[in-house]
Structure 1
């Protein structure tokens, strides 16, 4: 009665009055802040039966629960950045002996979901698939759920846990200090999972598997585009960097020094010419890469003569809403996922570049040089950080620019140019010194076709996964 009276008096607020016994129930950390007790967190559709997640799944299994392995077994390692919104972007391989302690352990078909902010807010989650020898080790910052109840399919539980509404509830139940908050395991242990008909769950399972299939096909098409570039340059697609270094003819008197990675420069040839005294800048491999680009049959030119660098600042209006692409949104195949949306006054001060359809963005920060992406129509007029270069070219199409800068050759080449102390990055002047091959137009067209098909399949994959989550949400709300 008191709840109703207060709600009528303050209709703009959400008010709940609970007894101390109700607050203490299933509240091991004894939280007394309001977030865990929001009405939205207490919603249950009584038309369904429910089961606690802890009763149907093994949560965060220990290493002892990975069977039949030896220390010489190759396994998958995943960092938090390898998880996308529903998918695994990238898989590292390593020997199991490297992951003795301090890791999360999982196997094929386990569910992985981030436990910290902002990773959880970005929806970093996946079903573990295509693991080396079926075994995975990874960051301790994601939870692992292994479904063991035959009444539940993994894909259905995954979609249920991956919904925005669950993420919001999980965020309300986080514990810890600001910036390092985590979803406690106890939240998932008591989370109720609805028991839906197996026919419906199989429908969800098919949509999730079809989504995964489309994504893998998308990755294969990207690889074909990359192979097309390497072949055009006369390199071995299986080991492009090594085949480049093997192909370079050095003067005989430099061969010994080159093998030792020694480069001798006079003051006139080094500092007085480049302004750089750091030895890394003069490594022989960079000279080899530049000589190789210069030998390309279709010609080459400097970056500044071929590519336009859009470096004009854009000042967001305080009370206008903008979409902002940050480093965490960039996928491994040049794709972009889930940009943030906020008023201009709330955006980071570095959100000062506006991008257009067809631009290519490239991180200038050492350690993140592989974060390159193609701006498609859906991201037109979004904002990006000043930590990105925003590029386009009349001579090279956008798809070719993307594949080129993400290629193993250019990723190695770009390592030459960063400078600085606390934050090492490529500046505009150094960027202009890069040599760019004038890729044959016919090859560019083939690369563009592969990339466009790849992006269409990735879009299809995302749509299938989104549709699966929507169907689960509708079923819970009783709309189907």
Structure 2
């Protein structure tokens, strides 16, 4: 019993804590030795109305960097926002989630950003013992995961609080290795910025191709509809459905084509084999630019009941729940035959190539129409019938080819960024297993300029 009291700064009785794998390194620190400051995010309500300050959430941390927030908080005061504003060098750590594999996942902020962050994240600022990039590489590598899994509190929600962060073991790496890791992160970040730029170009091409360059929606908040043009046709009584801005989008699209006439919806349930391991794509795995982050393989018997859609390369997935409608992704060869949640619609088309279809569903006009068609109370979502009946513009073949080229270039650059981050994690693991000099030598043998 005396050993359990001495093991941590707080009393732990779970057997798993004492049976967990522990990082062994010749020079070790504790989390409390490297943290100058740890700060919780805001717990105030956020929505997608673009009113107030943008707030970063856990599903906007991808491949060790942050994405663009999709939700906003209008109740944050300027003083509160200033205290939560993200700054260069911040490390964000996922504090709690129902998926234990997400908890402890970390990202670094490499440029000042006018974003706040939500309460299921916390910010760590490091001292001279470790730079932010090395801390993130360590937390996201397998040895960091061992420490996170050991120190987390597990229940319906797994929790890795700031108190637990302060107690984890962190190797004390020398300056040369830390500079090498920082260099890898900087190169990866530049690849990511270039990838974002290519995708934005694809979005601009799409908007031009469907004629929305100078479009301004109707801002009138009042609409008068007779029964014959409202409930009798739509079955909808919610006033927001009939806002004039939605009519202006439909009129501008100006086509009788719909999602149902243009696309195939793949909604057949798939029964996973209990002993087969599957890649399982969750909402949090989908990046802002249509990419899918690294997903874990899960045995069929351990998959949640909602993991019932099998996807094929070339399809796209579109989130059905309001607030996450921007979570659309392209299924690349890497995720062929993976499973995804029934919370996604799985689509493909013989008339629109996959890359263009992705950009189309992420575009402002289609996002507005998706939002219009959502319904429900506890969980607001777009139904299958509403989706299939939604107007979809036609796009010329040449424009599709140009958009597809940009998206492919974006994905190639993003893959390069991910490769560099994986090398950073691997060099941390190599340094722990061997030594730092050998780790840097190994990296040079990989053809990486350190």
| TM > 0.5 | yes
Q: Matches of residues 286-305 of structure 1 in structure 2 within 5 Å?
A: 286-294=246-254, 301-305=257-261
> Is the CA contact (8 Å cut-off) linking 2:32 and 2:166 kept in structure 1?
yes
Choose from 166, 179, 183 the match for 2:144: 166
Other structure's SS at 1:263 match = coil
Q: Deviations over 1:168-219 (max 9, x none)?
A: 32222123x6223422434332434333332222211111111111111111
CA contact 1:120–1:167 (8 Å) conserved in 2: no
Give the Cα separation in 2 of the matches to 1:386 and 1:117.
20
Matches within 5 A, 1:299-318: 301-318=257-274
How many residues of Structure 1 are paired with residues of Structure 2 in the alignment? 423
Distance change >3 Å, CA 466–CA 33, structure 1 → 2: same
Contact 2:131 2:178 in 1 (8 A): yes
- Residue 420 of structure 1 deviates from its aligned partner by 2.7
Pairwise CA distance, 1:161:
2.4
Q: Say whether residues 1:24 and 2:5 are aligned partners.
A: yes
Q: Offset of 1:50 from its aligned partner?
A: 3.1
- Structure 1, gaps ≥5 residues long: 1-19, 64-73, 237-242, 247-257
Contact 1:355–1:384 under 8 Å retained in 2: yes
- Residue in 1 that maps onto 2:443: none
Name 2:405's counterpart in structure 1.
449
CA–CA distance in 2 between the matches of 1:266 and 1:29?
66
After TM superposition, the structure 1 = structure 2 runs for residues 123-138 of structure 1, keeping only pairs within 5 Å, are 124-132=105-113, 137-138=116-117
From 120, 125, 142, the equivalent of 1:141 is: 120
- The CA RMSD measured in Å over matched residues stands at 2.7
Q: Aligned pair 1:224/2:201, yes or no?
A: yes
Equivalent position SS for 2:401: helix
In structure 2, do the counterparts of structure 1 residues 276 and 190 end up closer, same or farther at CA, with 3 Å as the change threshold? Answer: closer
Cα 1:61/1:427, change in 2 over 3 Å: closer
SS at match of 2:423: helix
Alpha-carbon shift at residue 53 of structure 1 (Å): 3.6
Gap change, CA 1:91 and 1:314, over 3 Å in 2: closer
1:244 partnered with 2:225: no
Unaligned 5+ residue runs, structure 2?
42-51, 439-450
Query: For residues 158 and 260 of structure 2, what CA distance do their matches in structure 1 show?
Result: 45
Distance in 1, Cα, partners of 2:347 & 2:53: 38
**Closer, same or farther: CA 306–61 of 1 in aligned 2, 3 Å:** closer
Q: How does 1:28-427 map to 2 (within 5 A)?
A: 28-38=9-19, 40-41=21-22, 43-46=23-26, 49-60=27-38, 77-91=55-69, 97-98=77-78, 100=80, 107-118=87-98, 121-122=101-102, 124-132=105-113, 137-149=116-128, 152-175=130-153, 178-236=155-213, 243-245=214-216, 260-294=220-254, 301-427=257-383
Query: Bigger CA drift: 195-204 or 306-315?
Result: 195-204
More relative contact order in 1 or in 2 (CA 8 Å, sep 6+)? 2
Length-normalised TM-score, structure 1 = 0.81
Q: Is the 8 A contact 1:360 1:375 kept in 2?
A: yes
Q: 1:105 to 1:167 in 2, by over 3 A?
A: farther
Rg larger in structure: 1
Higher mean Cα deviation, 397-406 or 308-317?
308-317
Residue 470 of structure 1 is matched in structure 2 by 426
- 1:37-84 CA-partner distances (Å, limit 9, x unpaired): 23622x4233xx333343333131599xxxxxxxxxx98742223222
| SS at 1:443 equivalent | helix
Partner in structure 2 of residue 240 of structure 1: none
Question: How far apart, in 2, do the equivalents of 1:259 and 1:331 lie?
Answer: 30
C-alpha spacing 1:152/1:439, structure 2 compared with 1 (3 Å): same
CA distance in 2, matches of 1:194, 1:346: 33
Select between 185-194 and 371-380 the one with higher mean Cα deviation: 185-194
Mark the CA change 1:140 to 1:286 in structure 2 (over 3 Å): closer, same or farther.
closer
In 1, the alpha carbon distance for the partners of 2:34 and 2:271 equals 51
